[in-house]
Chain A
Amino acid sequence: MTDNHSHTDEGGETRRDFIHIAAAGMAALGGAAVLWPFIDQMNPAADTLALGTTDVAVDQLSPGDEITVMFRSMPHFVRLRTEAEVAAARNEDMGNLPDRLARNRNLEDSAPATDENRSAMSAAIAEGQSVDETLRAALLVTSANCTHLGCVPTQGSGDYGAWFCPCHGSHYDTSGRIRRGPAPENLPIPPMTFISATTLRLG
């Protein structure tokens, strides 16, 4: 541009004085601020965040039964475990667990991955209700998406008598804890409340 200054009154180099920097800086600031609404609009909308709760009638299950329910558009396993399964899960040495945290939304983040912390023992009970202790101990509700890359594990296969993820070979035990394979964490437990002796509400 220098040769074009031959016909200006001053000539010489453009002096980048304060006012130009201030104007350009303020314009850049505005441009950055405008970005946020356009980014945030892709986050879950208010109706998605408010998505309802899911009620499960647990009295329909007999030991060994498992159903898959949808909670917040994601599949969840609801399994009434047999006594043998509960015993196996309880007797497991914590030292054998790759992930020693309960991953339970009803408990502190630091809660250990004992079977008591994984089962419906951790679910809240609505005021004035009482729920059978054996049922709570045997009931297991977990996300049905493998913590590796999101596939749904199959029941009854794998080396730990419970779930096995066919995508990349992750093995989960009867407490939904990861035991072998590429998945990094135990299957997470959703927030849940017994609203009656027979109905468990997720969310």
Chain B
Amino acid sequence: MSGNSTYEPKTPFTRWLDARLPIVRLGWDSFVDFPTPRNLNYWYTFGGILSVCLMVQIITGIVLAMHYVPNIDYAFASVQRIDRDVNYGWLIRSIHAVGASMFFLAVYMHIFRGLYYGSYKAPREILWILGVVIYLLMMAAAFLGYVLPWGQMSFWGAMVITNLFGALPLIGEPVTQWLWGGFTVGNETLNRFFSLHYLIPFLIAGVVVLHIWALHVPGNNNPTGISVKTSADTLPFHPYYTVKDGFAIVVFLLIFAGFVFYAPDVLGHADNYIEANPLVTPAMIVPEWYLLPFYAILRAVPDKLGGVILMFAAIGVLFVLPWLDTSKVRSMRYRPMARWFFGFFVVSCLGLGWAGAELPDTLVPVLGAIGVDFLLLGRVLTIYYFAYFLVILPVLGFVEKPTPRPASIEESVLYGDKPAKSGSGAGAVPAAQPAE
């Protein structure tokens, strides 16, 4: 972000306003004339998509709260009333429920994009950490929200997750009772979960403002990982990226609408249409698909406390990632070894999701022939998950030889990713020197 604003108020009113509250200038500098690398691809549209997701969830959520009753005797019936009797209630609830899944789909794309292009590296560490905070808040909001319909999965999901805290030594029992407001999941629990579920999206919105602020200080990373050097490397955000983001958002909404109108239940679990019953546990309790990898990590450890610690560590490790990756090169486009490990990492995350969805002692298709069940699969992939962050990325920085990189974003745009002018071999930029 340059210190020079190009905003020029044109009318007396905007001049008057600008001298008192330069809010139009802020918007102009942030979303109109903001210099943005000219080579951003479609993976970079998920930021815009995510802000749409957040708005959709907040608006539909506020509407649902007008009809929902946070009481264990009425919650399930009030959701049924929303589906059956409230004008367009079926539509709004469906958007909210599907929207949670779409939000996570987009955030995973956004996170994997950041991992691949090295968007967590200096000078964007704070930007990355704020992103991980948003992700944590999203998981909390999703979990709390899933409890509210008070179906079987709501109740037993709440039971299982809150009982995790019981694994804490000494304070486990008081902490779980504090969370419940009783001796088990009950009406008090539902009430506070509703309150917190309403609160968290606004916390997320606040952290998103910080996230965008932290983005606008160093500016966007880009697929080459090379920093902006001259104005020839950038384009104004508007109209170039407003229209590109807009197109991507509409394509995303097409998928979103496909689920809302033609498969509203496919992302959820049938058992949640059975009212909560503290006497009967469903045959199989699984979280929503977006939390399955963490569920697999939890189950990979035979010890209760160990599993809980490992599960939280899986997210905790993301906080220190900027200091674990020792490579001087940001983008994996120029990291021939890292991109393979990254590919395996993506596959292992999906595999963990699969392992989380199945019973631990079920045999894995194909691999079952050699005795691999989902517990073992989950354990192997858990090891790789942590090894990727704690071993592979730290070591690769020392052993990997990056491929040649273009001298600038402009050059990569005009002549392709490989440096055209300089000879082969050494590359346009010394590999040891990150382009700053």
A–B direct touch in complex (beta carbons closer than 8 A):
yes
Task: Report A's interface with B, CB cutoff 8 A.
Answer: 1, 3-4, 6-7, 14, 20, 23, 27, 37-38, 40-43, 45-48
Task: Point out the residue from A27, A41, A48 that lies within 8 Å of B88, measured CB to CB.
Answer: A41
Which A residues touch B238, using CB under 8 A?
1
B85–A4 contact, CB under 8 A?
no
> In the complex, A27 Cα to B243 Cα: how many Å?
12
CB-CB under 8 A from A45, the residues of chain B are 67, 81, 85-87, 89
Bound CA–CA A38/B92 (angstroms): 8
Q: Which of B32, B33, B86, B234 is the one whose CB lies under 8 Å from A41?
A: B86
The distance in angstroms between the C-alpha atoms of A182 and B63, with both chains bound, is 36
Complex A-B, nearest 9 residue pairs according to Cβ-Cβ distance, in ascending order: A37-B88, A46-B85, A47-B85, A45-B85, A40-B87, A45-B86, A4-B236, A41-B87, A1-B236
Mark B113-154 against chain A: 1 for CB-CB distance below 8 A, else 0. 000000000000000000000000000000000000000000
Contact B91 A37 (CB under 8 A): yes
Which residues does chain B contribute within 8 Å of A42, judged by CB atoms? 66
Q: Mark B247-278, 1 if CB is under 8 A from A, else 0.
A: 00000000000000000000000000000000
Q: Which residues of B contact A47 (CB under 8 A)?
A: 81, 85
- Are A7 and B86 within 8 A (Cβ)? no
Please state if B85 and A38 are interface contacts (CB–CB under 8 Å): no
- Any A CB within 8 A of the CB of B196: no
Distance of A23 Cα from B243 Cα, bound (Å): 10
Contacts of B246 in A (CB 8 A): 23, 27
Docked pose: A46 CA to B67 CA in angstroms? 13
* Total number of B residues with any Cβ neighbor in A under 8 Å: 26
With a CB–CB cut-off of 8 A, which chain A residues contact B87?
37, 40-41, 43, 45-46
Would you list which residues of chain B between 20 and 73 have a CB under 8 Å from chain A?
32-33, 35, 59, 63, 66-67
Q: Once the chains are docked, how many angstroms separate the CA of A14 from the CA of B239?
A: 9
With both beta carbons as reference points, the residue of chain B lying nearest to A26 in the complex is identified as: B250
Q: Tell yes or no: B5 within 8 A of A by CB.
A: no
Among B59, B232, B234, B239, the residue within 8 A (CB) of A38 is: B59
6 A-B contacts (beta carbon < 8 Å): A1-B236, A4-B234, A38-B59, A38-B88, A41-B88, A41-B92
Q: Given A41-B63, A45-B85, A47-B85, answer yes or no on A1-B91 (Cβ-Cβ < 8 Å).
A: no
CB distance from A133 to the nearest CB of B (A): 42
Contact A4–B33 (Cβ < 8 Å)? yes
Which of B32, B92, B232 has a CB less than 8 Å from the CB of A1? B32
Residue on A nearest B410 in the bound complex, by CB: A7
Q: A4-B35, A37-B88, A41-B87 are in contact. List 14 more A-B contacts (CB 8 A).
A: A1-B32, A4-B231, A4-B234, A14-B239, A23-B243, A37-B92, A38-B63, A40-B87, A41-B66, A41-B88, A41-B89, A43-B87, A45-B81, A46-B86
